[in-house]
Chains A and B, each alone.
Chain A
């Protein structure tokens, strides 16, 4: 039953029934719930590795840098004046809660990248407080990722990543970096904060890519 005890056929630890465990009364599992996840309902848990940073909007900016033809900077006012989108999505946290139909508003990463010319294949998102997370650039483009500053019609609260966070709903939520301040584009993949601590480098909730090796 140790961590090394992996079933060679399935690549997972062996399954057995926990004596006397029935689990909470459950409705039919929604097809929108990835394996191993449960619906947190109206809750919205807060998880992060350090204190909630507090950046004044006058000092906030968003930068696209690294392997780019020219660095792009957006002040808060410039960011706010970009074309905005409403996004309604399900989100999936690696700690196994999912939340359906969350409503956000913000700027598509496609818009932020705009006319950036780059051969990069990877992006490292960085945040106030030193947090980073890595993603393939292709997962941030094509209408699949946003920098959002509004949740459920109100400014995003600091504990949920305000003033602005990344939103990449098709990956585990640790990829949706809170307090995001920019992206570093590069040709090689540089691991982010949790990824260096053994979490999966990609993090697909439908394939349960929680930890390195999953």
Chain B
């Protein structure tokens, strides 16, 4: 823990050393992703709803998924660029240290510049939540758990996809396909997609379990109260699979360094 604290402070110091660059990065990250929400907003301002889901409801879905993604990008930069660790052979150094390999891989650097992503998701969430009407008052107690579930889901999916680098070496395109594309898909209600794609997003890359299903119940679009358990089911099934694949990958790993 002390090691990670030192890494955390070192990351903060190194990134804030050039204040102008740091600020431009935060603004860039904020606006770069916020453009996606503005595009959604423009569509919904014109067409009022997407299959019964209003802009406010989609803003809440968006904030849940993007908040989790933003936190992952702050603390999981090493996983996002995992192929460089494998291809350069630098992964060797992680194996010989007396600390969790996964923890080291994840916390190579804490990327404070990605706080812009968290900030934009939070602002969209605050706006959405100030307007939304939930059917059940307990929604306000339950809701924070969805934001935590989104962080866990984003981390698990990133670990699972990072593990593919043990077999494929370069895996940037797999990450874009498996994480970035699915996360974008999860910003919208499941019913706009074909059944097959809905199943992929529910059972394979289960982003819908932390957004669509619980919000279906909370907004009164479904009476199925079991949907509230969907995030925990999704995480509890994905977590052991992810850890197994990660461990298999480490066994499979052979150094490429000198």
Q: Do A and B make up one complex?
A: no
- Chain B residues with a Cβ under 8 A of chain A: none
- Chain A residues with a Cβ under 8 A of chain B: none
